[in-house]
């Protein structure tokens, strides 16, 4: 089944996603490959009135089908048989990238090489002869710098020409040496006797896989024709035995070594060194950044600077001094909701319930969440820039060794970072999905159970609101404390879980360190806007719905006699539930109104801010002026900095949101682990919040 699709394949960090974005633009769809949890993206490439589907496969170093990413990439190509494969190759790391290229070439499908990052290669002193590379591989080779759009038009034109049949792009046959090729050719002839198999697989590719004893390929062939596959497997075993006798080594190892040899030979033929042997700028920077002693200090400094600039740009600097009270971006958003609250005030006398819904349920709730859009935007902006620069990979390298002490492996760092481990601003959902690259199930499970402790973007509004209320002069210090606390808790929990519930061996980890490069402003801005827009949509849909529901629980039933707003709120369904929890929660400093908000936070952590905003707006409906939630709490006699900090600790650690729980269930394959994650994290959060509150209240008179 040949499709009209163009498939993009390549190593991680080769610029594959940049090529995909340049070819398709902003419109893209994320799908799961059937039967597994690995995702791939699809979009549409438009060119001179023509439209073609473009699929971005998971980044992978090979097609040996050891990990889920490798299996998905290979199976997608085999099952779909696309019209063209675009292999994105990092010109500055050509030999390593060509190992995947040789495996794709074995499939004998049309292929175009996007020789990406040629500028980085030249800076490192390498000159790649694209024409010679094209001759050796037998396919078009297009030099590109995808992050800046260089070479993309030529790549697009070539893709269209290949798909339309105007340009030949079938790779040259891959040779493994005379003795091995003889066995592969002989087995290929046997494969050709079964048309049902040759319709699905290139005969030489299937023959090579059977000689390698590739279980995944054998299983695919058995599904199509079990009897034919059994016969071929017997012949492949005989061929493998002859190869192993001749070379005194395992057949699969020998084939892999030949692939590496092919890649090395191509590099020697078409790559020239244009500068004297020297350490490039990346190596020089890494001597400092990746230093065992200096590296962690630099990391702390980077995170501190990140928080400094986020707070300065979003809330402290007066960008618009001519608008009284609206000087900062956060002030502008708060001012808009202030105007909305004033605009609906005439409704209070005529339609009190409707006014309460608008003012407390929507403006007080959703407005409290949207107040922090500027902070979220700048957080995403700086984190995206760090990702684009290559520094995030160095963080993984720096933290690999200490994480292993706590029972985690190197790839756990990637999940932590995606979930918000660098400062904040991430999300636990993609963080947990990032564990798919781990081969050991116990490593995956342990990482999934502690990743939600990282400070995701959903927790940032809670932190920002409470810091503005109780720690306005120590924002950076408090955020750094919360950042360190999340890591320490995650590591300690990992240490305990590894030695009790999730026992198992740790697997080794190899981390690629891509070259440093200046972040591309357009790409960073686009990534930032996508994340920010997701946050805004969440506030306008999920959080709005939950807030309206919580408002109803906090508004009904109404007492029959005239009472003040606080008593009316306590009389409601939510108030009664909150008061029922208060005898226990009071140990951590949480009153019944806070309990209402925390229950809502099980759905999404941003709801904590919205629910508190609704509760305190309902409690103070007689106020003529709109007040921010931070101002309300700072002025409230029952609140103090210790209670505020205990609440931040609890929100940081207690149950993951509904979506995260669902993802843990899907990735772990069991609701048991999703339930365990919810229960143990909430219990741990409560114990630590109680300790913080009780100790803090004892020390408060001396501070």
Same domain, 190 and 153: no
Residue-wise pLDDT tens digits, 161-181? 999 889 989 998 888 877 888
Encode 27-43 in three state secondary structure: CEEEEECCCCCCEEEEE
Considering the domain boundaries, does residue 65 fall inside one?
yes
- Where in the sequence is the domain holding 26, given as residue range(s)? 6-163
Residue 467 — very low, low, confident or very high, per pLDDT cuts 50/70/90?
Answer: very high
- Could you read off the pLDDT of 78-88 as tens digits, one per residue? 888 899 999 99
Same domain, 159 and 10: yes
Longest distance between any two alpha carbons in the chain, whole Å? 97
Instruction: Please report the DSSP string for 71-136 in residue order.
Output: HHHHHHHHHH--SEEEEEEEGGGHHHHHHHHHHHHHTT--EEEEEE-HHHHHHTTEEE-HHHHHHH
d(CA 681, CA 656): 8
* Res. 317: pLDDT tops 90: no
Say if 651 falls within a structural domain.
no
Name which residue leads in pLDDT, 506 or 573.
Answer: 573
Residue with the larger pLDDT of the pair 94 and 457: 94
Are residues 146 and 208 located together in one domain of the fold? no
Cis bond leading into 507, ω under 30°? Answer: no
Tokens linked to 439 = 């081969």
Q: Is residue 576 part of a domain?
A: no
Residue indicated by tokens 């400062």: 423
Q: Hey, how many other C-beta atoms are within 10 angstroms of the C-beta on 336?
A: 15
Q: How would you classify the pairing of strands 84-90 and 111-116?
A: parallel
Q: Residue 136: inside a domain, yes or no? A: yes
Query: What is residue 65's predicted lDDT score, i.e. its pLDDT?
Result: 60
Domain membership flag for residue 159 = yes
Residue 12, both tokens = 């991680």
Tell which of 163, 187, 205 closes a domain: 163
DSSP 148: G
Query: Is the pLDDT at 36 greater than 60, yes or no?
Result: no
Token pair for 198: 């040759």
Give the pLDDT confidence of 45-58 residue by residue, as tens digits.
887 777 889 999 88
Phi then psi for residue 36, to 5 deg, are -135, 175
Q: Do 182 and 137 belong together in one domain?
A: no
My answer on whether 204 and 118 are in the same domain is no
Q: Is residue 186 part of a domain?
A: yes
In DSSP notation, 141-203 reads EEE-BGGGTBTHHHHHHHHHHHHTTSS--PPPPP---HHHHHHHHHHHHHHTT-HHHHTTS-H
For 656-697, the pLDDT digits (tens) are: 988 788 889 888 888 999 999 999 999 999 999 999 999 999
pLDDT tens across 532-550, in order?
887 788 777 777 887 788 7
- pLDDT by residue (tens digit) across 216-270? 889 889 999 999 999 999 999 999 999 888 888 888 888 888 888 888 888 888 8
Question: Which of 116, 135, 163 is the endpoint of a domain?
Answer: 163
pLDDT above 60: residue 449: yes
Q: How far apart are CA 117 and CA 119, in angstroms?
A: 5
Query: CA 624, 628, 631: angle at the middle one, nearest 5?
Result: 95
Task: Give the number of other Cβ atoms within 10 Å of residue 405's Cβ.
Answer: 10
State what percent of residues in the chain have pLDDT above 70. Answer: 90
Q: Are 85 and 110 in contact (CB under 8 A)?
A: yes
Quick check: helix, strand or coil at residue 652?
helix
pLDDT per position as a tens digit, 422-441: 766 677 877 787 776 676 77
- As a whole number of angstroms, the distance between CA 197 and CA 221 comes to 7
Q: Residue 299: what pLDDT? A: 87
Whole-number Cα distances in Å, 335 to 2, 211, 327, 474: 57, 70, 10, 24
Whether residue 308 has pLDDT greater than 60: yes
Question: For residues 196 and 222, is the Cβ–Cβ distance under 8 A?
Answer: no
Residues 218 and 71 in one domain: no
Residue 394: what pLDDT? 82
**Structural contact between residues 143 and 115, judged by C-beta atoms closer than 8 angstroms:** yes
SS3 679: helix
Structural contact between residues 300 and 293, judged by C-beta atoms closer than 8 angstroms: no
155 and 185 inside one domain: no
pLDDT (average), residues 394-416: 80
Phi then psi for residue 44, to 5 deg, are -120, 130
Residue 56 is assigned to a structural domain of this protein: yes
- Return d(Cα 295, Cα 286) in angstroms, integer: 9
DSSP state at residue 326:
-
**Least trusted range by pLDDT, from 275-284, 321-330, 440-449, 515-524:** 275-284
Say if CB 259 and CB 99 are below 8 A apart. Answer: yes
Helix (H) or strand (E) holding 449: helix 441-450
Q: How far from 383 is each of 378, 604, 636, CA to CA, in Å?
A: 9, 22, 35
Closest CA to 490 of 532, 456, 514, 540: 456
* Six token digits for residue 132: 């010679």
Which of the 8 DSSP states describes residue 63? S
* 77 neighbors 1 (Cβ within 8 angstroms): no
Determine the pLDDT at residue 626. Answer: 44
* pLDDT higher than threshold 50 for residue 33: no
- C-alpha angle 447-457-532 in degrees, rounded to nearest 5: 130
Grouping H, G, I as helix, E, B as strand and the rest as coil, residue 319 is: coil
> How many of the other CB atoms lie within 10 Å of CB of 366?
24
Of 138, 163, 188, the position where a domain reaches its end is 163
pLDDT at 111 over 90: yes
% of residues, the chain, pLDDT over 90: 33
The domain tally of the chain equals 2
Q: Are residues 15 and 103 in the same domain?
A: yes
Looking at the fold, whether 95 and 195 belong to one and the same domain comes out as: no
pLDDT for res 27: 53
Answer yes or no: is pLDDT of 289 > 90.
Answer: no
Radius of gyration of the chain (CA): 29
Residue 372's pLDDT is what? 76
How far apart CA 540 and CA 547 sit, in angstroms, is: 10
* CB contact at 8 A, 159 and 113: no
User: Are 93 and 238 part of one and the same domain?
Assistant: no
In a shared domain, residues 105 and 128: yes
**What does the pLDDT read at residue 326?**
60
Task: Quickly tell me which residue has 């919040």 as its tokens.
Answer: 689
> In the Cβ-directed half-sphere of 472, how many Cα atoms lie within 13 Å?
8
Confidence band, pLDDT 50/70/90 cuts, at residue 34: very low
Q: What is the mean pLDDT of residues 133-138?
A: 92
Determine, yes or no, domain membership for 17: yes
pLDDT at residue 682 in the model: 96
Cα–Cα distance, 163 to 141 (Å, whole number): 16
Q: What is the distance between the alpha carbons of residues 194 and 203, in angstroms, rounded to a whole number?
A: 10
pLDDT of residue 92: 86
Query: What SS3 class is residue 192?
Result: coil
pLDDT digits (tens, 9 = 90+) for 480-526: 999 999 999 999 999 999 999 988 766 655 555 667 778 878 778 88
Three-state DSSP at 556 gives coil
Residue with more model confidence, 344 or 318: 344
Least confident of 329-343, 449-463, 464-478, 590-604: 329-343
Range scoring the smallest mean pLDDT among 202-206, 414-418, 593-597: 414-418
Which of 5-19, 77-91, 196-210, 350-364 has the least mean pLDDT? 350-364
Residue 453 CA from chain centroid, whole number: 15
204 and 126 belong to one structural domain: no
pLDDT band at 702 (very low <50, low <70, confident <90, very high): confident
Specify the CATH number for the domain of residue 47.
3.40.50.300
Q: How far apart (Å, rounded) are the C-alpha atoms in residues 144 and 163?
A: 20
What mean pLDDT is reported for the chain?
84
- pLDDT at residue 653, rounded to an integer: 96
pLDDT class of 469 with cuts at 50, 70, 90 = very high
- From the list 205, 195, 200, the residue with the least C-alpha distance to 236 is 205
- The SS3 assignment for 52 reads strand
What is the per-residue pLDDT for 133?
93
């Amino acid at each position: 089944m040949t499709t009209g699709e163009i498939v993009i394949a390549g190593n991680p960090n080769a610029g594959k996603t940049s090529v995909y974005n340049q070819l398709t633009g902003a419109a893209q769809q994320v799908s799961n490959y059937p039967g597994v949890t690995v995702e791939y993206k699809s979009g549409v490439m438009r060119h001179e009135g023509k439209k073609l589907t473009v699929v971005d496969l998971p980044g992978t170093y090979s097609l040996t089908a050891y990990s889920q990413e490798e299996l998905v990439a290979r199976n997608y190509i085999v099952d779909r048989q696309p019209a063209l494969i675009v292999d994105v190759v990092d010109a500055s790391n050509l030999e390593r990238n060509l190992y995947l290229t040789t495996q794709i070439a074995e499939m004998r499908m049309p292929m175009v090489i996007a020789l990406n990052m040629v500028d980085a290669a030249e800076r490192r002193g390498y000159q790649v002869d694209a024409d010679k590379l094209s001759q050796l591989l037998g396919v078009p080779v297009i030099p590109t710098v995808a992050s800046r759009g260089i070479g993309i038009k030529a790549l697009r034109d070539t893709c269209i020409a290949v798909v339309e049949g105007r340009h030949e792009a079938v790779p040259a046959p891959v040779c493994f040496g005379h003795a091995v090729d003889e066995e592969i050719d002989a087995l290929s002839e046997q494969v050709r006797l079964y048309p049902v198999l040759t319709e699905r697989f290139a005969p030489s590719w299937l023959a090579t896989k059977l000689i390698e004893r590739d279980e995944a390929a054998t299983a695919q062939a058995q599904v199509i024709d079990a009897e034919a596959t059994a016969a071929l497997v017997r012949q492949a075993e005989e061929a493998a035995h002859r190869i192993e006798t001749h070379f005194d080594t395992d057949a699969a190892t020998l084939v892999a070594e030949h692939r590496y040899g092919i890649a090395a030979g191509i590099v020697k033929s078409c790559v020239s060194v244009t500068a004297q042997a020297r350490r490039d700028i990346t190596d020089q920077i890494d001597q400092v950044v990746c230093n065992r002693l200096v590296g962690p200090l630099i990391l702390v400094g980077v995170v501190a600077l990140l928080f400094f600039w986020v707070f300065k740009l979003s809330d402290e600097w007066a960008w618009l001094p001519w608008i009284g009270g609206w000087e900062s971006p956060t002030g502008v958003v708060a001012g808009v909701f202030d105007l909305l609250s004033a605009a609906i005030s005439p409704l209070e006398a005529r339609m009190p319930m409707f006014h309460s819904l608008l003012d407390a349920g929507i403006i007080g709730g959703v407005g409290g969440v949207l107040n922090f859009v500027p902070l979220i935007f700048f957080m995403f902006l700086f984190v995206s820039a760090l990702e684009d620069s290559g520094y995030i990979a160095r963080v993984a390298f720096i933290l690999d060794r200490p994480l292993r002490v706590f029972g985690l492996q190197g790839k756990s760092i990637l999940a932590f970072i995606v979930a918000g481990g660098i400062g904040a601003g991430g999300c636990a959902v993609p963080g947990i999905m990032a564990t798919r690259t781990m081969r050991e199930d116990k490593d995956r499970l342990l990482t999934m159970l502690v990743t939600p402790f990282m400070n995701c973007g959903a927790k940032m509004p809670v932190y920002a609101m409470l810091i503005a209320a109780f720690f306005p002069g120590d924002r950076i210090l408090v955020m750094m404390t919360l950042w360190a606390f999340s890591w320490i808790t995650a590591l300690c929990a990992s240490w305990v879980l590894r030695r009790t519930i999730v026992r198992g061996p740790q697997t080794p980890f190899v981390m690629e360190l891509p070259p440093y490069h200046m972040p591309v402003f357009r790409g960073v801005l686009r990534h930032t806007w996508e994340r920010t827009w997701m946050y805004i949509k969440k506030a306008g849909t999920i959080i709005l719905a939950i807030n309206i529901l919580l408002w109803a629980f906090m508004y009904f039933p109404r007492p029959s006699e005239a009472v003040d707003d606080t008593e009316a709120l306590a009389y409601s369904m939510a108030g009664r539930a909150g008061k029922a929890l208060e005898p226990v929660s009071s140990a951590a400093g949480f009153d019944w109104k806070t309990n209402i908000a925390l229950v809502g936070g099980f759905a999404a952590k941003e709801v904590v801010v919205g629910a508190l905003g609704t509760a305190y707006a309902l409690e103070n409906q007689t106020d003529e002026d709109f007040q921010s939630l931070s101002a309300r709490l700072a002025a409230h006699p029952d609140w103090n900095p210790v209670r505020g900090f205990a609440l931040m600790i609890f929100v940081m650690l207690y149950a993951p949101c509904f979506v995260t729980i669902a993802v843990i269930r899907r990735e772990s394959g069991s609701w048991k682990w999703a339930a365990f994650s919810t229960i143990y994290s909430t219990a741990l959060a409560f114990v630590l919040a109680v300790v913080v509150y009780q100790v803090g209240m004892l020390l408060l008179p001396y501070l």
